[in-house]
Amino acid sequence: MLAGIASLARLVRGAKNVSKYDEMFGHLPKIKPRTNLSDLKNVLTKHITKENPIDMGSDVAAAKADPKYQMIGGGIEGSGPSIYRGTTLVDDPAKISTKKQMNVLRDDEKFFTNDPIEAAHHAYASQTPDNPAIILRMPTEEANIRIPKTKTGRNILVGSHKVVSNAKEAEIPYLMNIIMRLKKMGWSDAHIFKYMKHLYKDPRPKKIFNRGGIVSLVL
């Protein structure tokens, strides 16, 4: 675990600011592709509001309640090697929305997103004291992504989400969940050790790159 945290610290320290001179003359650094570790770094360093903006109404409410919240560009942009789902430890059918967007899902299909911060907003909007929020992660290349279509064959837009039919194969990014919970709820309300116990007991895999042990929990 210490090795993983040390690697994360090096990533944070290694982030360099771009000078105005570089911006003026186009000497911009090459954009590094996203990785699971860079996603974790972004979750650690970005501002994460305690509000739960999941639609236009709650988005506006979050902007009013939290001066640091950015309605546009506040998450992690672009695509990466993984996609994320925000849910609760026990997926509660009573929490399923009856909105039009949900009608595109078939049995066992779930929504995922490229942005773990967006996934967290959905998770924490649905949690209860007995059913805490959780973020799930799945390698993009292993996800069975379906593009829903109308009867006439036109694509149905589902915003920034992806419709995934093998969501049961998703894993738990252990450290990301702990960081997100602390930033969303604060130390006094997070009950973090109880939460860690819940994560540990969950049967879903908590590893990546086919490695086990503590290092896998960190990544």
Predicted confidence at residue 113, as pLDDT, reads 94
pLDDT for res 208: 42
pLDDT band of 15, cuts 50, 70, 90: very low
Confidence of residue 70 (pLDDT cuts 50, 70, 90): confident
pLDDT tens string 99-123: 777 888 888 899 999 999 999 999 9
Handedness of CA 61, 67, 72, 75 (dihedral sign): negative
Q: Where are the domains of the chain?
A: 2-15+31-218
Strand partners, 128: 131
pLDDT of residue 24: 63
Q: Give the Cα separation of 211 and 87 in Å (integer).
A: 25
**Tokens standing for residue 87:** 């849910």
Q: What separation in angstroms does the CA of 101 have from each of 55, 92, 148, 171?
A: 12, 18, 11, 25
Query: pLDDT tens digits, residue range 164-192?
Result: 999 999 999 999 999 999 999 999 999 99
Lowest mean pLDDT among 16-25, 56-65, 135-144: 16-25
For residue 43, is pLDDT > 80? yes
Residue 215, pLDDT > 80, answer: no
Instruction: Record the pTM.
Output: 0.78
